[in-house]
Structure formats: structure tokens, C-alpha cells
Amino acid sequence: MSTNTVYANILTELQEGILTITLNRETKLNALTLGTLQEIRAAVQSAQRDPLVKGIILTGSGQKAFAAGADISEFAHFTEDQATRMSADGHDVMNTIENSEKPVIAAVNGFALGGGCELAMCCHMRIASENAKFGQPEVNLGVPPGYGGTQRLIQLIGKGKAIELLLTGDAIDAQTALNLGLVNHVVPQEELIARSKEILQKISTKSPVAVGKVIKCVNDFFRPNVNGMQREIYEFGESFITEDFKEGTDAFLNKRKPNFPGK
């Protein structure tokens, strides 16, 4: 299990079915190295296989930053081929998180800039502390975002505002992010993890099978050449042969709380 794995750049802790993954480079404002991204992917993949994990929180150490971008010193002298591979690998990490069948909440505790904003956006929900700031400042370095920022920001806040933020490189505060639909909730710093856990604990009382199917269907809305309506029809029908469906309907008819087996 991921909680028994020793990582160099992240910490993992499993409590009451919730796996918390903490970026652990506080002195570097949790800037994302290639190694850090690989460790995040490994932890999320491990969580998919662990029946004890019902949901995941992704956050940063300290109170200043979730992740203040990619570690520029690591790629400043990359060749075109190296940069292309870096972007492709980053996309794979973000897709792994987005396609997790267990809900992932980004608990954004400060700066979420560049790659940090992209990391937050690939999570299923974002809870922000009052001091959080979001932005895609890559144009200041002479590059576009490389980890999906040009695509997910549009999905979350619409083309007009997204292209303004992408072209100006401006950062926005937590309240503005809430107003734009980039984050789900804004809370005081000291309540950030508790609020994230509260949401995941509520989700954990629902059918894990249904939760995973909802995530698949929602993700398919944004995939090219994929019919999300057909996906929903398929997932709905398939759910009728699951133990979760039998338990859920029996509990409803007998006026009791369901105890979903997740099968």
C-alpha cells in the first residue's frame, strides 16, 4: 500500500479510508520536479488497487503553497525532444489523476501556479484556502502551459476568461476562482483539510461502483470522438448486475442505510 512506501518528495497517510498525498518540498514552495510527478502518479495508482482507500486528498506542505509551478531549474536547458517528453509525461500524470475512479480533491493551501494549477485542475474537485492564488504564468517564460492547462482551464471557467488568464499570466485569488467556477469552496486555512475530508466522507457512504461510473461519464463529456450519452447508457445498464445495485435498492425498499460492498 502507498502508505508503506517511502517517497523522496511526497508524504502519504491513510486515515479512515482517505489517502492524503502531501507534496513535501516546502522550502521550494512544493515546486514540481519530474520525480515528484512520478511519485504522485505511483501513489494514485497504488490507491486504485487498495480497497481501504475510498478517496484521495492532494495538498502541499506548509501554508504558502500547494505547488508554485514546475521546477524551472530542472528543465531550463532541455532540448525540444526532452521538453516534448516532459510535457507528454506530465499529461500522463494528470490523466491518471483525472481518470481515478476514486474521487480526488485538491486541497489548495496557497500558490497554485503553472504546473501547480494544472495539478489542481486535473483533480475532481478543488477546495481552496482563503490565501490561495491560481494562475498560468508560463507566457512569462516563453512557453504555453505543458501539463493540460490550456484545455482544463477552458473546461472549468470558459474560453473567454481562460484565454485572458493564459495570455496575461495573471494570478487570481481564491474568491475570484470561486466566482469563476475554478474551485468548489473557499475556507479558512485551518479548515482546509477538514472540509476536504468531510466531502470525501460523504461520498464514501455512496456506492463506490456508482461513483466510479459517474467519474467516467463526466470525463467522457470532454473527450473527442467519444459519445458521453452512450457511455452513460452503458454504465447505467452495467450497474444493474452489480452487488452495489442490489444492496442499494434493497436498502431503499426496506428503509435502511445501505452498506455497499463496492462490487
Q: What angle do CA 207, 23, 165 make, to 5 degrees?
A: 85
Catalytic residue check, 138:
yes
Q: Which is the catalytic residue, given 39, 98, 118, 247?
A: 118
Q: Which is the catalytic residue, given 16, 74, 101, 138?
A: 138
Catalytic residue check, 238:
no
Q: Look at the block and give the residue holding cell 445498464.
A: 237
The residue type found at 186 is V
Round to whole Å and give the CA distance between 198 and 74.
37
User: SS3 string of 68-100?
Assistant: CCECHHHHCCCCHHHHHHHHHHHHHHHHHHHCC
Cα dihedral 30→129→64→181 (10° resolution): 60
Report the candidate in 151, 162, 141 with the shortest Cα–Cα distance to residue 69: 141
- The b-or-e profile of 198-230 (16+ CB within 10 A means b, else e) is ebbeebbebbbbbbbbbbbbebbeeeeeeeeee
Residues designated as active site: 118, 138
